[in-house]
Amino acid sequence: MNRTFLIILMIGTAMMIAVIGQHEPANRLETMPWEVDQLDNGSLRVFGLTLGKTSIQEANQIFASFGKTQFGIDTADNGLQTYQLITVYDDLSFGGLIAKLKLGYQIEPEKLLSIYKSLNSPPTKPGVEFYPVDKTIELEYLNSAISSITYIPSLDYDLDTIRQNFGQASSENTINDEIQLWNYPQLGLTIHIHSTKSDEFVYAPLQ
């Protein structure tokens, strides 16, 4: 093996390692979705995040990653709309499983309405639509607390695994042929079990 070929091989190997590294999650966390702590003040903590306390900025630091901020508009059949500001992390690693995480911002309704009015093309048909926001809006609300957490694993857990780790749900409701809702009110959790897309684990403050 001549020296020139060896150098080319080393360069090629280094480039391959760099490309593979780009597809690895920025930070690996060992915490799992069923590891939910209820704090003395009644707050819930999961994935190292405390609902109503941890800020979006602190979440960026915990995950060593910057999420994508989006504005969501949910338009009902009667035309009524609800709004939310979220940030999305596409490829975090929890216990070795790649997952998407969506964090809701804890923001007053009047501020959400102000963001809505700044959009160029608000939706006119029923359904949920998400829009990118201006960078100034993203920076303005970085210190907002997290109001909700949605965990979407890349591979679904089977139902037995869910029951073994979360316990028996207080209710298991079949909505239609495509979705079931399993409720764990003591964990502030609703699991959306889908037949046609990835399951969603939605954590919200205890009522």
What's the pLDDT score for residue 18?
39
* pLDDT digits 0-9 by tens, 70-125: 999 998 888 888 999 999 999 899 888 899 999 999 999 999 999 998 887 666 67
* Most confident of the following: 26-30, 98-102, 127-131: 98-102
pTM of this structure: 0.83
107-128 in b/e form (b: 16+ CB < 10 A) is beeebbeebeeeeeeeeeeeee
**In this model, does residue 65 exceed pLDDT 50?**
yes
Contact 176, 196 (CB under 8 A): no
Question: What is the distance between the terminal CA atoms of the chain, rounded to a whole angstrom?
Answer: 70
- Please determine, for residue 194, whether its predicted confidence score (pLDDT) is greater than 50: yes
pLDDT (mean) for 25-38:
79
In the predicted structure, residue 202 carries a pLDDT above the cut 70: yes
Half-sphere exposure of 52 (CA within 13 A, CB side): 13
Q: What is the mean pLDDT of the chain?
A: 85
Q: Is 31 helix (H, G, I), strand (E, B) or coil?
A: coil
Residue 15: predicted pLDDT: 41
Confidence of residue 41 (pLDDT cuts 50, 70, 90): confident
In the predicted model, is pLDDT for residue 153 greater than 90? Answer: yes
Q: Tell me what pLDDT residue 27 has.
A: 60
Band (14; pLDDT cuts 50, 70, 90) = very low
Amino acid at 78: N
